Structure 1
Amino acid sequence: MDKEFDYSVKLQEFLEKNSQKFEEKLLLEAVNVRDKIDEILSVGNINLVANAHKLVVYIIDRQEKELQLFAKQEGIAWATHSIDLSFKLEWVQAIRRTIWNFIEQYNDLTGEQVTSNFFHLEKEINNQVDAFLNAFFISYSTYKDSLIKAHRKLVENLSVPIIPINTSVCILPVIGSVDTFRTSILEEKVLTEIGVSRIQTLIMDLSGIADMEPRVIDHLTKIIDGASMMGCNTVITGLRVEVVRKMIHAGLSFDPNTKTLGTLQQALKEYLIS
């Protein structure tokens, strides 16, 4: 077995066995972010601690494609919910420092000598972290610009921000209050855009909607039915408890072919192609 690969495997096992200590050290490093973890989870359904463990696996195992895709997903999620970028930067830098702290602990515990490979190891890990940050910020900036342009149109032309993420998949982030008038605009724009752009999958993110009246929900289900008639699958993400409760009490439900996922990130993981 390649020594470098063997070292990575053993290091990953060491990190998994000490995951709780890793979290404790990470929270000590991330001074400003640790008090915002619950808020970020509530606002954007973003689990910083779980995502930190995922990022570490990608870095140690050198899963470059998975790391790039994860960075893109994170960038879109943070842009969608307008979360302060300084928290992300501090969090990732804290992850970097914590990884190196545990590498030192692992070497002290096992007596592994990495002196000859240290500079290569340093370059490998730090390049992976930097690659994640670079892809994250590009994704954030690109999607944020699209959101700003779409929201400007929404104000100027009462448009609907349908944002393409590849040739066949688009995101429709529904943000703010939704009444019967706005659902009429949604209906017109969604069906028109499906016809013009040949959208095959429309991810409708409702995490920005705290509540909707039953008649509005009913109209929304009809829009989804119309999209299905045109050959477009709709994926609903981020449904709030209040909305679901009203649907249940009103006897409303989506078409069985309509997929629902808890968060936008879950949909992106499934439909975003790197």
Structure 2
Amino acid sequence: MEQYEKKITDFIIMHREDFQNKLLSEAVEVAAKINDILRSGNIDLLKNAEKLVTYVVERKETELTSFAQQEGVAWAEHSLTLTLKLEWVHAIRRTLWHYLFEYDQLNTHGLSISDYRESFFQMEKRINDGIDKFLNGFFISYSAYKDELINAQRKMVEHLSVPIIPISPHIAVLPLIGVIDVYRVHTIEEKVLTDISDLKIRTLIMDLSGITDMDINVIHHFQRVLSGVSLMGCEAVITGLRAELVRKMIHFDVSFDDQASTKGTLQQTLAEYF
């Protein structure tokens, strides 16, 4: 069987130019952009199509899985559209079946109808399962890379939204604005504790005048952040608590008194320190 499969791939490689022309005629949209994809992403679609066909026909599952992962990352990394990939793989499937038919026309004259039918259905299942396996691995890899990229970008944005500003060798200000959710309070914790250590901050003034509300779970987590600030030998000062947030804290019987001192406004506090 392996010899038979190798003969098929040899047949396709022998007719490489015709195979590629047939493939390009089956994928009109991709054919128009094939050179752009090669330039922008260094992705040789024709070479990769031959590689995919070889792995599928010769049942090289390990290589097929690895190739699908590589293709998914490359496609995601260069922001190439999934519709083009789908069109290309479906065109490869159709072109491959065209050449399987051509090969069988030349090499199966000695088989009985029943033997030919059995061989055909086995081949059909194997080929289609292999291409489907490639597509599945490709999409998983593509999606994982995109999710990782989005998370990295989100983390970068969140870190930028926690701007710790040194105003003296040992005093810094952290103005917080917008919504503080569970994810962001984790970012605040990481950034605050790291910068206290790196910048040798002794007093951190955290201005909350831009925060209108916090979920009670976030408030509890924020208390733990303040405890961490204290454990690092840094004084936490909170300014600008708004009435809406104070009412919620009173309602749930929580406060920041044990973890930090509170002041009215950032301007008043800075005047006290300078």
AA partner of residue 156 (structure 1):
E
Match of 1:29 among 15, 26, 31: 26
Q: Please list the CA deviations of residues 9-57 of structure 1 after superposition, one character each: whole Å capped at 9, or x if unmatched.
A: 2111111100111000000001111011111112211111110011111
Match of 1:148 among 147, 150, 158: 150
1:116-131 equivalences under 5 Å are 116-131=118-133
AA partner of residue 60 (structure 1):
V
1:73-88 equivalences under 5 Å are 73-88=70-85
Separation in structure 2 between the aligned mates of residue 14 and residue 34 of structure 1, nearest angstrom = 23
Match of 1:101 among 98, 103, 106: 98
- Check if 1:13 corresponds to 2:15: no
Compute the displacement of 1:158 (Å). 5.0
SS in 1 for 2:29: coil
Match of 1:49 among 46, 50, 55: 46
SS in 2 for 1:105: helix
Closer, same or farther in 2 for the Cα pair 1:145/1:105, shift >3 Å? same
1:73-222 equivalences under 5 Å are 73-112=70-109, 113=111, 114-158=116-160
Percent pairwise identity: 52
Compute the displacement of 1:107 (Å). 1.2
AA partner of residue 147 (structure 2):
D
1:223-234 equivalences under 5 Å are none
Question: Where does the alignment leave 5 or more consecutive residues of structure 1 unmatched?
Answer: 160-191, 193-274
Separation in structure 2 between the aligned mates of residue 19 and residue 154 of structure 1, nearest angstrom = 47
Q: Please list the CA deviations of residues 212-253 of structure 1 after superposition, one character each: whole Å capped at 9, or x if unmatched.
A: xxxxxxxxxxxxxxxxxxxxxxxxxxxxxxxxxxxxxxxxxx
Structure 1 equivalent of residue 261 of structure 2: none
Structure of higher CA gyration radius: 2
SS in 2 for 1:46: coil
Q: Which moved more, 1:86-95 or 1:5-14?
A: 5-14
Compute the displacement of 1:100 (Å). 0.3
AA partner of residue 135 (structure 1):
G
Compare relative contact order (CA 8 Å, sep 6+) and give the higher one, 1 or 2.
1
Match of 2:57 among 37, 56, 60: 60
AA partner of residue 62 (structure 1):
R
Compute the displacement of 1:145 (Å). 0.4
TM-score scaled by length of structure 2: 0.55
Q: Please list the CA deviations of residues 47-87 of structure 1 after superposition, one character each: whole Å capped at 9, or x if unmatched.
A: 11110011111011100000000000110111111110011
Residue correspondences, number: 157
AA partner of residue 31 (structure 2):
R
AA partner of residue 21 (structure 1):
D
Separation in structure 1 between the aligned mates of residue 23 and residue 154 of structure 2, nearest angstrom = 39
TM-score scaled by length of structure 1: 0.55
SS in 1 for 2:54: helix
